[in-house]
Amino acid sequence: MTPRTSFPYELPEWMRPIAEAAAVVRPEELSAFLPPDSGGRRSAVLLLFGESERAGGSVPDLLIIERAHDMRSHAGQPAFPGGAVDPGDDGPIGAALREAAEETGVDPAGVSVVGTLPDLWLPPSGFVVTPVLAWWREPGPVSVMDPAEVASVHRVALDDLLHPDNRLRVRHPSGHEGPAFRVHGLLVWGFTAGLLSRLLEVAGLDLPWDRSRVEDLPDDLLRMAMRSAAHPGLLRDGPEGPT
């Protein structure tokens, strides 16, 4: 990987490997599902990294939402804020910032966009997803803004995401497996966990963890996934497919 050595503004040292990885990562390094040559509805998600105060000082964190449990698509799943690109948006970046504001109350004025990652494909919904990487330069309060779309909002410490005790793989009844994180009482799985796991790995931040630790997808999450027609293939986390 050939990293970029400068950015249009100062980033904290801990975030530079993530920004450098995002600048050069190839789509096949992030997902087995790549967009078709044509078609698909454009959408975007916001990977918003910031710093929050804890005992002993500030810690790097990432904004994650839990989707409402009765949604038609990906019900109950932890996810990055985001949604479809509307005609009035300034492309995927505008959509990601707008959706984050609508879902969690994030003020876009305090967010510095680092760049975009390669487009990825969500087969069940037919979305072409552009992940937007951003630095939360001036964080503010966040909460559930629309209970019809969001069940809860979390600022998850990067150390918690990387801690080996919080890493595992989950198995769908079909046999497909994929990476997951157990944080804040949530099981982060599917597209969100796959993208996050691979990005942190490419950035060189991954810590050794027990990849043989595999658990079945819990029944309540499975019921919601089945009800919202989630596709087991979303559990695939790399170009090699299920392992």
Asked whether the beta carbons of 149 and 128 are under 8 A apart, the reply is no
Sheet of strand 177-183, all strands in order from the earlier edge strand to the far edge: 186-188, 177-183, 167-171, 214-216
Q: Binning pLDDT at 50, 70 and 90, where does residue 174 land? A: confident
* Predicted TM-score of the model (pTM): 0.89
**Mean pLDDT for all residues in the chain:** 87
- CA dist., res. 179 & res. 47, Å (int): 18
Stretch 204-210: mean pLDDT: 97
Q: What's the rounded Cα separation, in Å, for the pair 15 and 223?
A: 36
Percentage of the chain modeled with pLDDT above 70:
87
- Measured from the Cβ of residue 197, the count of other Cβ atoms closer than 10 Å reads 23
Q: Which residue has the tokens 């509307």?
A: 86
Looking from the CA of 178 toward its CB, the CA atoms found within 13 Å total 30
Is 6 exposed, middle or buried, given 0-12, 13-18 or 19+ CB atoms closer than 10 A?
A: exposed
What confidence score (pLDDT) does residue 233 get? Answer: 36
- What's the whole-number mean pLDDT along residues 50-72? 87
Does the pLDDT of residue 84 top 70, yes or no? yes
Give pLDDT, residue 230: 40
Residues 6+ apart with CB under 8 A from 151: 65, 66, 67, 68, 69, 76, 144
For residue range 38-60, list pLDDT tens digits in order: 888 999 999 999 999 887 789 99
Per-residue pLDDT, 69 = 73
Highest mean pLDDT among 13-27, 122-136, 171-185: 13-27
The rounded percent of the chain whose pLDDT value lies above 90 is 69
Name all domains of the chain by residue range, CATH numbers in brackets: 13-235 (3.90.79.10)
pLDDT of 235 reads: 36
3-state secondary structure 82-127: EEECCCCCCHHHHHHHHHHHHHHCCCHHHEEEEEECCCEEECCCCE
pLDDT digits 0-9 by tens, 109-144: 999 999 999 999 988 778 999 999 999 999 999 999
The three state secondary structure string of 177-217 is EEEEEEECCEEECHHHHHHHHHHHHHCCCCCCCCCCCEEEC
